[in-house]
A and B are shown apart, each in its own frame.
Chain A
Amino acid sequence: MIETGWVNRFALFCIRQRVWVVSLLAASTLLLTFFAVNIEVKTVFADMLPSSHPYVKTHERFKDTFGGSNIVTIMVEVEQGDIFQPAVLEKVRTLTLELRKVSAVNPFQIISLASKKLKEIKSSTEGIETKPLMWPDLPKTEQEISALRDAVLRNPLVYGSYVSTDLKAAVITVDFIDRLVDYGTVFNEINQLVDQVRDDKVRVRVVGDPILYGWVNYYLPETMHLVLATVLLVVGLLFLFNRTWRNTILPLIAGLVSAIWALGVTKLFGIHFEPLVIVVAVLISARAVSHSVQIVNRFDEEVEAIESGRESSETAAKMALSDMFRPGMLGVIADAGCMAVVALSPIPLLQKLTVLSVVWVFTLSVSAVVLTPVLLSWGRHPKGFAHGLNLAPLLHLFLGFCARIVTSRARYGVIAVAILIFVSSGIYAFKLKIGDANPGSPILWPDSTYNLDSGAINNKFQGVDRMFIVVGEEGSRGLLKKVEVMDNMNLFQRFMSSQPEIGATLSVADVVPAVNRIMHEGNPRYQELGANQTVNGSLMFLFESVSEPGDLDRFVDNQYENGAVTLFFRDRQGETIRTAVARIKEFIAKHPLTEGTYQLAGGVIGVMAAVNEIILSGQIEAIALALVVLVILCTMTYRSSVAGMVFMVPVIISNTITFSVMAWMGIGMNINTVPVAALGIGLGVDYSFYIADRIKEELALGKDAATAITIALHSTGSGVLVTALVLIISVMLWSVSSLRFQAEMAMLMSIWLGVSTLSALLLMPSIIYIFKPEFIYGKEPGVVAQTQQTAMKSGA
């Protein structure tokens, strides 16, 4: 369609004032570059938490005392013998002492055999006395070591928790002050520390969220290399396919300008950049490249069209700009709109990412839709080629094939296949796992150091990942001394211990019986909770009086209002967490407390449970809202709600396929994958816009449907095909990433791009050809029918 009105005037203005337009854009780009290079790249765990979720509220309220989400576990494991060797104990001690120097460490939460916290409680003639197991001095003689071993073996709070049951490993756990922790620094400092004690006799393994995200940071240089390699590959492939420097450099410039603008604006908003979502940046840059390629292709066509007359880059550029303005802007706005709805998610990470993405996509309207044609207007040799290898015939062979399918009866086959794919992928999508799908972190490969370490520690111990449940009530002092409450907690722990998901449990209801037994000459017949509130109170008081300030705080606050039951998990799989939470709720429902309530759930597993609970419904709602945006946009643009329905088709199919591919490859939908999945919802619908718009244009010029479709496929379609090929091949590079997450997300993106390309080249034209929607055909078909009727009448 030849645009008239303001679009045309705008195009004319841009080309005439091109020096000013380009200078203005260059100046802004320069300015924003300054901000863009200063953007902070870091992971902030708090950003991943849906702050409105009750679990997260519980977590935030109690994390400082009952254990946060940043606990790091270090395991020292011996190859031969047991850990009760002076050299090994020395290492445990060194690690324990040196950990205090690591930044943001909470010095009161470093717990190990060598810390002051783990102690033996004994009753003696003088009363009750406590002695740290291995603090301040290491045991020296054979006898002392033997005594230490016995002390460990008879201490249920140590044996199995801080020393493995086979005595071959000891752990040190350390918590951090949440608001101060910087994962990169912690990772480096702890690794340096661990390297000091590592030798051929012991293996030292480290796990915990700061370490996990530290690994992500560690691979940041590699990730940047991948980004660079991707850019180079894109350039190379564009050059190969497009055969001109102009058509190679311009899309690249469009991509770069967008990236700079987006990062600069994001920095101005004070938002940092999450290293794991670099893949999203690649995704959006891919959009910039596609739009730009569409424009340069259109430019080439315009040049072709006015070839006979005087060749003028300016005229061609103006035409390209005005012609591509509508589908281009529609694509940009649709992409941005579909991404914007993700901001409704309660997860701050997603909200911030949405700001970044929406800004980024909108910059495409300047960088690709305007800047590219303006720069094109300076083109000197619009018809020359930079190399002789012409792949266009191959592409056109494929496009011709597509056109033949669409214009022959095979188009019904296309629809049938699409329906089949939609139904089968839709059904398979139900197998999608919510939360982590496998043991170990899905961010890293199964054979990565971290995942091997994590597996080894979880194997030796009862589980390193914690969830705490708070029992308590506001303003009910002394609640935790009550017999009913303590009995209920004890029952709860017994019930949860039987569930295969749980490695171990710990609460004040474990401490009190131990103290009680000590008070009764060590008689196990008294290893039980106190008979009444007063006894429980005095037993807790007794424990506190012989321990360091704060030792009891791990279990109960100092007013005895709130207490924690800590559950230890061996893995973080979505199913494990979900099932455990269901069991917790089942217990609470069956054993209600008359006073006080159970509050779920803090610790790293608690907040993961919260995230997992909301992401599935969040994702489905985001898809629905993205469709709302799409339908409204299409209805407004084409003045037909049927248009909305037609363009929904590729979006829905690409999402069911994505879901089922994730299910098939064992990629769970979790806090890391959900940004990519959410931002990808509307991805690729712009291919369909370009094709549909071209068909409409050609029809408006009076061509018949088959010709219009064939022309559209060979012109716009070739742009679509080139971009898709270039991007898919480039994105494949990421499969070598050391971060499994990036490799998998890149693959998902390739699938997305592939699906949208095929939708645009086969499905959309088929739908248009078969259903002949009015918004593409104009009122023509109806008119034709009526005209025929009229003709028949008049004939009669």
Chain B
Amino acid sequence: MTSNSNRPNSPAQAGTGNSSGKLIKLGLSAIPWLIIAGLLWVGLFIKPQPVGTTVQPPSIERTDSFYGIASPAKGVLWIVGNKGKVVRSNDDGTTWVLQKTPTLEHLQDVASWDDKRAVAVGNKGVVIITEDGGNTWTEVTVPLSKVSNKLLRVKAMADGRAWAVGEMGALLETTDYGKTWQRRRDEEDAAWNDVLFLDADNGWLMGEAGRMMRTVDGGKTWQPVASQVKISLMAVAFRDAANGVAVGLEGSLLATHDGGKTWTLLPRAKRPTGGLATDKPETALAKQHVLEEAGEHLFDVTWDEAQQIWFAIGNQGVWVRGNKDADSWDAGRIDARDMAWHTRVIVANGHTYLAGGRVGEWNGQKNAWRAFTSK
């Protein structure tokens, strides 16, 4: 028996039965195509998803360079560096907060009058100041050269005064906490690498090709001083009116004991060749006897009153240490394996802080380095 033979018998019922049956059948036969269409649709749009969220760079990145450092108060640190970066710590470097600045130029140095007011200088003559501890930094205009304007150093003094030096013989002064700046020397095709004022009147300039100048009238007039060297001088420090040390490229050390009238080129500091940590202590001991000159560039020097030493830093993690009379020097490396350069050293509240390719605190007595990092 077939359905064909049955249909004529009950046309009406077969008709209704068929129409609903057909509907169900149609629905059933559509299901596979719907499933397939669904899968194809999913196939077109499904994409495996990345995991996690974007990691925002930490305040102190692995690849950062910090050229300048200042410590206006105990435990307060400001570091400035590449891409207009200013980072501040209020707990002696344990935690760091990135401060918003109006520039992306590399900042080369920072100086502070107190823990609210500071100034940072950098590439293309950029100068930024703050009066509220760095919550807001504002850019100020300074007299610019048409050639190049990189500012390398800034030093703050009492009563809102500050001096900045840089390329094209730039020597800028402010007397109002950095709001306005005046150029104090004509342009020349040589850079000043450091400026230092011992008091309101007596000041020093250190520059390329062994150039050295001093003023005794608060910067109104400058007199060249013979440094005896042709190598670029990078920084100078005085422990009193008479005794000072200047450092420069290739490990150069100069000392004066007569307030800067005469400078003596000292022999380079020496360090044991086995300055690197090695797994074999006996060879390290053997190497202790061989000394080598620390010929790395020196970029900054400071007088450590508490320890009564001169302390200088520079390329490849080098440090150089001199006694009070600057007649006995030794040298070493911050870390045997970390050859990061340093451009600034400050001694504040008994601590020695270094800024550079790595930023941190150096304990010379324990030979211990505490790197500043941030999450």
Interface positions of A (Cβ within 8 A of B):
80-82, 143, 146, 149-150, 153-154, 159, 165-167, 434-435, 491, 493-495, 497-500, 521-525, 527-528, 531, 574-575, 578-579, 581-583, 586, 612-613, 616-621, 623-625, 627-628, 631, 640-642, 644-645, 648, 652, 779, 782-783, 786-787, 789-790, 793
Closest residue of B by beta carbon distance from A621 = B43
Chain A contact residues: helix, strand, loop or mixed: helix
Complex-state Cα separation, A617 to B10, whole angstroms: 52
CA distance A740 to B291 in the complex (A): 56
Most buried by A among B50, B65, B357: B50
Q: Chain A: which residue is nearest B108 at the CB level?
A: A525
A159→B339 contact, CB < 8 A: yes
10 closest residue pairs by CB, A with B: A624-B39, A641-B29, A582-B50, A621-B43, A620-B43, A498-B57, A579-B50, A434-B48, A153-B339, A645-B32
Are the C-beta atoms of B315 and A494 separated by less than 8 Å?
Answer: no
Residues of chain A lying within 8 A (CB to CB) of residue B276: 146, 149
Within the complex, the shortest CB–CB distance from B176 to chain A, in Å, comes to 27
| Cα-based distance from A149 to B50 in the complex (angstroms) | 41
| B-chain residues with CB within 8 Å of residue A499 when the two chains form the complex | 54-55
**23 pairs of residues in contact across A and B, judged by CB atoms under 8 Å:** A153-B337, A434-B48, A494-B63, A497-B61, A498-B62, A523-B299, A527-B65, A578-B49, A579-B50, A583-B54, A613-B48, A618-B43, A619-B43, A620-B42, A621-B43, A623-B43, A641-B28, A645-B32, A782-B3, A783-B1, A783-B6, A787-B6, A789-B10
Which residues 1-28 in B have Cβ within 8 Å of A in the complex? Answer: 1-3, 6, 9-10, 13-14, 17, 21, 25, 28
Mark B42-61 against chain A: 1 for CB-CB distance below 8 A, else 0: 11111111111011111001
> B57 to A790, Cβ gap below 8 A?
no
Q: Are A786 and B6 in contact (CB under 8 A)?
A: yes
B189 to chain A, nearest CB (A): 14
List chain A residues, Cβ under 8 A from B1: 783, 787
- Residues on A with C-beta less than 8 A from B32 are 627, 631, 641, 644-645, 648
Are B341 and A531 interface neighbours, CB within 8 A?
A: no
Contacting residues, chain B, for A790 (C-beta < 8 A): 6, 9-10
Q: For the complex, is B280 an interface residue (Cβ under 8 Å from A)? A: yes
A166–B148 alpha-carbon span in the complex (Å): 41
Q: Does B35 have its Cβ within 8 Å of any Cβ on chain A? A: yes
Question: Complex formed: what's the CA distance from A13 to B108 in Å?
Answer: 96
Which residues on the B side are within 8 Å of A525 (C-beta)?
Answer: 67, 108, 150, 152, 343
Q: How far is the CB of B248 from chain A (nearest CB, A)?
A: 10
Apart from A498-B57, A528-B106, A624-B36: 15 A-B pairs, beta carbons within 8 A: A153-B316, A499-B54, A522-B249, A524-B356, A524-B357, A528-B82, A578-B48, A582-B50, A617-B47, A620-B43, A621-B44, A623-B43, A648-B35, A652-B35, A786-B17
Question: Contacting B278 at CB < 8 Å: which of A82, A645, A652, A793?
Answer: A82
- Alpha-carbon gap, A80 to B278, bound state (A): 10
Name the B residues within 8 Å of A641 (CB-CB).
28-29, 32-33
Does B190 sit within 8 A of A, measured CB to CB? no
Q: Do residues A80 and B279 form an inter-chain contact, with CB atoms below 8 A? A: yes
Partner of A495, one of B33, B57, B315: B57
With known contacts A522-B315, A617-B46, A779-B2, A786–B40 Cβ distance under 8 A = no
Question: Which of A154, A493, A574, A624 is in CB contact (< 8 Å) with B339?
Answer: A154
Do A631 and B36 touch (CB < 8 A)? Answer: yes
Q: Are B337 and A497 in contact (CB under 8 A)?
A: no
Interface residues of B in 170-190 (CB under 8 A from A): none
B48 touches A616 (CB 8 A): yes
B316 touching A581, Cβ below 8 Å: no
Residues on the B chain within 8 Å of A574, using CB: 48
Specify which chain A residues have a CB less than 8 angstroms from the CB of B71 in the assembled complex. none
* CB proximity of B206 to chain A, nearest CB, Å: 13
| Interchain nearest-CB distance for B207 vs A (Å) | 12
User: A159-B339, A523-B297, A525-B67 given as contacts; is B44 within 8 A of A628 (CB)?
Assistant: no
Residue of B nearest to A585 (CB): B50
The interface residues of chain A lying within 8 Å CB-to-CB of B21 are 782
* Contact of B123 with A by CB under 8 A: yes
Tell me the bound Cα distance from A153 to B276 in angstroms.
Answer: 11
Q: Are B357 and A154 in contact (CB under 8 A)?
A: no
Residues of chain A lying within 8 A (CB to CB) of residue B315: 154, 522, 524
Question: Is B130 on the interface with A (CB-CB < 8 A)?
Answer: no
CA distance A564 to B252 in the complex (A): 40
Given the complex, which residues of B lie within 8 Å of A613, measured CB to CB? 47-48
Cβ distance B243 to chain A, nearest Cβ, rounded Å: 27
Enumerate chain B residues within 8 angstroms of A165, measured Cβ to Cβ: 337
Contact B9 A627 (CB under 8 A): no
- Considering the chains assembled together, what is the distance between the CA atoms of A150 and B294 in angstroms? 12
Q: How far is the CA of A146 from the CA of B47 in the complex (A)?
A: 53
Q: Which residue of B lies closest to A648 (CB)?
A: B32
Residues of A within 8 A of B278 (CB): 81-82
| Given known A-B contacts A522-B249, A574-B48, A620-B46, A786 and B62 have beta carbons under 8 A apart | no
Question: Known contacts A159-B339, A524-B315, A525-B108; is A612 also within 8 Å of B2 by CB?
Answer: no
Give A210 to B82 CA distance when docked, in angstroms.
41
- By a CB distance below 8 angstroms, the chain B residues around A435 are 48
In this assembly, does B31 line the interface, its C-beta being within 8 Å of a C-beta of chain A?
yes
- Give the distance in Å from the alpha carbon of A625 to the alpha carbon of B44 in the complex: 13
Q: Nearest Cβ distance between residue B362 and chain A, in whole angstroms? A: 17
Q: How far is the CB of B110 from chain A (nearest CB, A)?
A: 14
B227 at the interface (CB under 8 A from A): no
Quote the shortest CB–CB distance from A152 to chain B (angstroms).
Answer: 9
- Residues of chain A within 8 A of B299, CB atoms compared: 523-524
Q: Could you give, for residues 266-303 of chain B, a 1 whenever the CB lies within 8 Å of some chain A CB and a 0 otherwise?
A: 00000001001011100000000000000001010000
A778 closest partner in B (C-beta): B2
A779 to B55, CA, bound (A): 66
Give a binary string over B238-262; 1 marks a CB under 8 Å from any A CB, 0 the rest. Answer: 0000000000010000000000000
B297, B339, B343: which has the most chain A beta carbons within 10 Å? Answer: B339
Inter-chain CA distance A628–B32, complex, in Å, is 8
| Closest beta carbon of chain B to A485's beta carbon, Å | 15
A786 B337 Cβ-Cβ under 8 A: no
Q: Are A498 and B55 in contact (CB under 8 A)?
A: yes
Q: Which residue of A lies closest to B7 (CB)?
A: A786
Residue B112 interfacial (CB < 8 Å): no
User: Once bound together, how far apart are the Cα atoms of A793 and B66, in whole Å?
Assistant: 101
Give every chain A residue within 8 A of B6 (Cβ-Cβ).
783, 786-787, 790
Q: Looking at the assembled complex, report how far the CB atom of A311 sits from the nearest CB atom of chain B, in whole angstroms.
A: 38
Q: In the assembly, what is the distance between CA of A81 and CA of B281, in Å?
A: 10
Q: Could you tell me the distance between the alpha carbons of A165 and B337 in the complex, rounded to whole angstroms?
A: 7
Are A586 and B54 in contact, CB atoms less than 8 angstroms apart? yes
**Cβ of A210 to closest chain B Cβ, rounded Å:** 28
Contact mask B208-243 → A, CB, 8 Å, 1/0? 000000000000000000000000100000000000
- Given known contacts A578-B50, A624-B43, A789-B10, A642 and B28 CB-to-CB distance under 8 angstroms: yes
Q: Which residues of the partner chain A approach B36 to less than 8 Å between Cβ atoms?
A: 624, 627-628, 631
A612 touches B48 (CB 8 A): yes
Chain B 88-111: CB-based contact to A (< 8 A → 1; otherwise 0): 000000000000000000101000
Known: A494-B61, A524-B341, A786-B3. A150 touches B316 (CB 8 A): yes
Residues of A within 8 A of B297 (CB): 521-523
